[in-house]
Amino acid sequence: MLISRNPATGAIQNEFSPWSEQELECCLQQAHDARSAWAATPLDKRCALLRGLAAHLRARKQELARLITQEMGKLIREARDEIEKCAWGCEYYAGHATRFLADEVIPSGAGKSYVRYEALGTVLAIMPWNFPFWQVFRCAVPALAAGNGVLLKHASNVPQCALAIERIFADAGFPPGVLRALMIETRDTERLIADARVQAVSLTGSVAAGRRVAAVAGSHVKKCVLELGGSDAFVVLHDADLGEAVAQAVISRFLNAGQSCIAAKRMIVVEAVADEFVAGLRAAIEQLTPGDPLDEATTLAPLARADLRATLHTQVQDSIARGAIPLAGCKPLDGPGDFYAPSLLDRVKPGMLAYHEELFGPVACVIRARDERDALRIANDTDFGLGAGIWTRDCERGERLARELQCGMVFVNGSVHSDPRLPFGGVKNSGFGRELSHHGLREFVNIKTIWIKSI
């Protein structure tokens, strides 16, 4: 059963029975039948549809934002921002796909030689709940621009968002079958990956899910892109602007109630400024106000599910038992909904779950480093490698350290965020492949070499 439940109240809003075998087969065949005509659709027409999609998103922004908030708990203003970002992504690819997909002439020994970018076919997008529109759009829009079709297997707790996404593509004029939302359970995904009508897979999810998907895709020799977990380092050096660093640390860590793969999960602060940074961070955290996410005055949303809150609390309690110092929160909040108090753990060290695992919730963790080199060592001492931030007034120092960090993205004096213009993805257990930019668009194309010798 696919259940839509309001995280702020616990109330069940809707329930959907998973599709039958016949319903799934019908959808797969429709997607397969639609893909060739879509790939043959002139690129300028595909781009025009993307521009129209952006207009539809903006026209219905408040309605769609409210759906996001009621289904996964995000603050309403953050939900509006998410819809706006989806519109931006549509416009970005509408404006740049022609250049990204243009034939690339490469001189060789032939009379003519070039690279051509052709759609692969149908991409299975296995998407998470925490950014229920944006993470779908950042996968689907470049894939569609390139001429692929998309089958959306969304998280089971956001079925209404999945259906709304399918509906808005249809309303914007996309042909039937080009993007379909699948009302299926997780156990059905393995056979979908194996199906000959699916040519590639994109997953945003846990490390465990990524390993399973990669294994199945590999066994069928199918391309996959994995955007998995993150435990991003937020490195504060002795010469950082501490006021700005604290402000951005709070935004990065507590946006979306901390449920973001690129949140500042490990705040690594050199000892020279650690006490001052922690004091400022604690004061800012204590100002956060949990409450109804539809209320514009609320500054901290609930977690999306009760099991997520329970897991987070176990990680926090383990870390405290092993010596971490709780300076704020560190407990579930009483009352309805899946709220967790805005929290701060200081002096996190190796051996604690907060040091080694991804904490997916509103808990800031401070790790104290002796100096710059020790901070770099700690930042790289993780199985994850998604993003990282460095805070210093010396931009040359920041750039030098950025080159030494083992991750897919580094932001100097800025919080890690996704931007359609820049590639997004990680290394190590954070996955492989890239989304966004021309790199993301070219993940799901056949890069075909054409070589012609004049006779």
Distance CA 302, CA 355 (A): 23
- Distance from CA of residue 188 to its chain's centroid? 22
Helical packing angle, 43-59 and 76-100, nearest 10°: 170
d(CA 269, CA 273): 7
Q: Whole-angstrom Cα distance, residue 389 to residue 399?
A: 11
Question: DSSP string covering 307-341, please?
Answer: HHHHHHHHHHHHHHHTTPEEEE--SBPSSSS--B-
C-alpha gyration radius of the chain:
23
Distance CA 181, CA 164 (A): 9
Q: Which residues have C-beta within 8 Å of that of residue 314, sequence separation ≥ 6?
A: 353
Residue 86: partners with Cβ closer than 8 Å, 6 or more residues away: 54, 57, 133, 134, 137
Helix, strand or coil, per DSSP, at residue 87? helix
Helix pair 242-254, 271-285: axis angle to 10 deg: 50
Range list of β-strands (E), 54-211: 104-105, 112-119, 122-126, 149-153, 179-181, 200-204
Distance in angstroms (rounded) separating the CA atoms of residues 294 and 110: 63
Just list the catalytic residues: 227, 261
Give the SS3 label for residue 417: coil
Is the distance from CB of 79 to CB of 404 less than 8 angstroms?
no
How would DSSP label each residue in 383-399? S--SEEEEE-S-HHHHH
Q: What DSSP assignment string belongs to 183-211?
A: ---GGGHHHHHHSTT--EEEEES-HHHHH
